[in-house]
């Protein structure tokens, strides 16, 4: 009786003035009636309970046996994949991060692939978990503190990379103290003689890849001009590009691929595209890298050069853009390699150079995040599809017996997928099941905040009205999707992100856990962390 009373009290708190509990329930959870007349767009109602018909996608979906058959198939797959735990040594480890790849991004991406029932390659991995992404000092994280977590195993402050939470944002003096530096899983791997590499679609000095090799009090210190601009001392607090070329971890990386040429060149120089460098110290760090390594190390700037590398290549520095690489939808396919192509080359080099000791590869689909920040949902989701192609290649060209692949995100975004649309309704279009209270259609995808606010409203005589989306080409890759709160840049979200795992000890990644647990689990499976399966199992990590 007490439970019933509590239920009705809580429900009554949600009831609008003059509305009874049953009416409130119907308003919040509208039921769609299966009537033929409702399938027409003009027949849609703005009322809370639109009377609409959406036929099943396929005739067989009308029957219970169809869904029961699918459930049985999934049960068999689950039983088979989880009946035997894989506790072998993870000789190779690959960590794929879709920057800003929130769970709604994955859901919308399935429809982009062809339908709600579709799956990304990483969704077929047998183990799935949730990672809590907050920074040591912030509720909603950025890509810097999260990189320190999933690569270094330590929660850090917002905007800082590869340092503990003892270092505050922009604190050059604290950055310089060795006791504040956090070593990454790449450093752990190198100590065990493993080959290592990083691949990204952003600048290689950006927050996520910098977590592999750098220790920075400010993620924006990608070149020495940025350090000096914050009144820092570049000799005391070297920038990300300098650390990539000169730090012990950076120097030992076999593979470095992404954008960011401008951060390695002095202001007096220009790159192949004519873009000027940004360095104040007059150093050409690309030339420094060439001089550090043997003739089997190669610097490349375009797709042709990358795909023409010989099978004798021991190291590669590939910088394919002045700053970030182009979105896949904008890229010149003849000049810019895809993420999948970069991963293919990286895996070939790492496998050869590992000499049987295994390798660690970090891969970032970095421009998912940038699409979301500009509320360019089409770009963000297309980048997600490209990211998945790289994952698919990696998993199909390695064995689950000795290669652990983990796919996750650093943080989420504020994009949501909402409304009562029909199956396979255009994910980038308008909701086809309901009009809004202003008699106008609304987008299936929208953001809680961001620059899409101004581009989706009209101001008339002091009044603010929404634009009619039926008159707008929402499939334009530059269309900014609607935002509720006007902001110059859409923010990250604070919700958990998914973690998908396949290979040795993938079972460690099920459950809900702090993001900084990830590298510890990777290290355990590959015997490169302090606590590992070799110690627990009494085995040795020896060359194959």
Q: How many Cβ atoms sit within 10 Å of the Cβ of residue 82?
A: 12
Please answer whether residues 261 and 286 qualify as being in contact, where contact means their C-beta atoms are separated by less than 8 angstroms.
yes
Ligand-binding annotation for 409, yes or no, is no
Ligand-binding annotation for 208, yes or no, is yes
Q: How many Cβ atoms sit within 10 Å of the Cβ of residue 358?
A: 26
Phi then psi for residue 539, to 5 deg, are: -120, 165
Please answer whether residues 351 and 65 qualify as being in contact, where contact means their C-beta atoms are separated by less than 8 angstroms.
no
Q: What is the DSSP string of 153-221?
A: SS---TT-BSB-TTSPTT-HHHHT-GGGB---HHHHHHHTT-EEEEEEEEETTSHHHHTTT--BS-TT-
Ligand-binding annotation for 369, yes or no, is yes
> How many helices and strands in the chain, by DSSP H and E?
18, 17
The tally of CA atoms less than 13 A away on the side-chain side of residue 449 is 10
**Hunting for tokens 């290979």 — which residue is that?**
503
Please answer whether residues 495 and 475 qualify as being in contact, where contact means their C-beta atoms are separated by less than 8 angstroms.
no
- Nearest CA to 134 out of 120, 118, 149, 123 is that of 149
Ligand-binding annotation for 536, yes or no, is no
Residues in the chain: 544
143 classed as catalytic? yes
Choose, from 102, 131, 143, 409, the residue flagged as catalytic.
143
The Cα–Cα gap between 362 and 359 comes to 10
Q: Which residues of 389-418 are buried (b: 16+ CB within 10 A; e: fewer)?
A: bbbbbbbeebebebbbbbbbbbbbbbbbbe
The Cα–Cα gap between 245 and 285 comes to 7
Ligand-binding annotation for 330, yes or no, is no
Q: Residue 319, SS3?
A: strand
Ligand-binding annotation for 99, yes or no, is yes
Q: Residue 392, SS3?
A: helix
Q: Which residues of 198-236 are buried (b: 16+ CB within 10 A; e: fewer)?
A: bbbbbbbbbbbbbbbbbbbbbbbbbbbbbbeeeebebee
Binding residues for Zn(2+): 99, 369, 373, 410-411, 492
Active site amino acids: 143
Binding residues: 99, 206, 208, 364, 369, 373, 410-411, 492
Binding residues for Mg(2+): 99, 206, 208, 364
């Amino acid at each position: 009786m007490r439970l019933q009373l509590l239920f009705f009290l809580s429900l009554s708190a949600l009831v609008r003035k003059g509305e009874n509990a049953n009416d409130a329930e119907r308003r919040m959870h509208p039921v769609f009636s299966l009537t033929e007349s409702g399938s027409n767009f003009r027949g849609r109602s703005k009322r809370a309970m639109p009377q609409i018909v959406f036929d099943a996608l396929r005739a067989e979906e009308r029957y219970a046996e169809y869904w029961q058959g699918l459930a049985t198939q999934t049960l068999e797959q689950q039983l088979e994949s989880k009946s035997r735990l894989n506790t072998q040594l993870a000789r190779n480890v690959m960590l794929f991060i879709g920057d800003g790849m929130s769970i709604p991004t994955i859901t919308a991406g399935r429809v982009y692939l062809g339908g709600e029932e579709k799956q990304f390659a990483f969704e077929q991995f047998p183990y799935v978990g949730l990672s809590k992404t907050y920074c040591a000092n912030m509720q909603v994280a950025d890509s810097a503190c999260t990189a320190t977590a999933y690569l270094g195993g330590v929660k850090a402050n917002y905007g800082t990379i590869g340092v503990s939470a003892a270092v505050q944002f922009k604190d050059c003096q604290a950055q310089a103290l060795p006791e504040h530096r956090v070593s990454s899983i790449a450093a752990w791997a190198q100590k065990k003689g493993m080959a290592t590499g990083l691949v990204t679609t952003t600048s290689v000095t950006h927050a996520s890849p910098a977590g592999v090799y750098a220790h920075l009090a400010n993620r924006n210190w990608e070149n020495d001009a940025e350090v000096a601009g914050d009144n820092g001392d570049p000799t005391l607090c070297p920038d990300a590009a300098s650390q990539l070329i000169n730090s012990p971890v950076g120097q030992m990386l076999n593979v470095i691929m992404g954008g960011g040429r401008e951060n390695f060149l002095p202001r007096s120089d220009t790159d192949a595209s004519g873009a000027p460098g940004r360095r104040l110290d007059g150093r050409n760090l690309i030339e420094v890298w060439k001089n550090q390594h043997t003739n089997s190390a190669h610097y490349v700037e375009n797709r042709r050069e990358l795909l023409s590398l010989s099978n004798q290549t021991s190291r590669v520095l590939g910088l394919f853009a002045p700053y970030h690489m182009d979105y896949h939808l904008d890229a010149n396919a003849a000049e810019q390699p895809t993420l999948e192509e970069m991963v293919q080359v990286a895996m070939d080099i790492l496998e050869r150079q590992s000499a049987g000791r295994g390798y660690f590869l970090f891969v970032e689909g970095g421009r998912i995040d940038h699409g979301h920040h500009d509320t360019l949902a089409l770009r963000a989701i297309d980048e997600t599809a490209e990211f998945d192609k790289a994952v698919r290649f990696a998993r199909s060209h390695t064995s689950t017996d000795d290669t652990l692949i983990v796919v996750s995100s650093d943080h989420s975004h504020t994009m949501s997928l909402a409304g009562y649309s029909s199956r396979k309704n255009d994910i980038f279009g308008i909701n086809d099941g309901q009009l809004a209270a202003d008699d106008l259609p609304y987008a299936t995808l929208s953001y809680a905040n961001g620059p899409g606010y101004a581009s989706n409203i009209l101001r008339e005589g002091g009044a603010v009205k929404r634009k009619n989306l039926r008159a707008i080409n929402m499939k334009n890759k530059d269309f900014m999707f609607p935002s509720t709160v006007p902001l110059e840049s859409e923010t990250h979200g604070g919700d958990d992100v998914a973690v998908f795992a396949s290979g040795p000890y993938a079972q460690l990644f099920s459950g809900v856990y702090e993001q900084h647990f990830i590298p510890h689990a990777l290290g355990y499976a590959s015997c490169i962390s302090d606590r590992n399966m070799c110690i627990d199992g009494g085995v040795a990590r020896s060359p194959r």
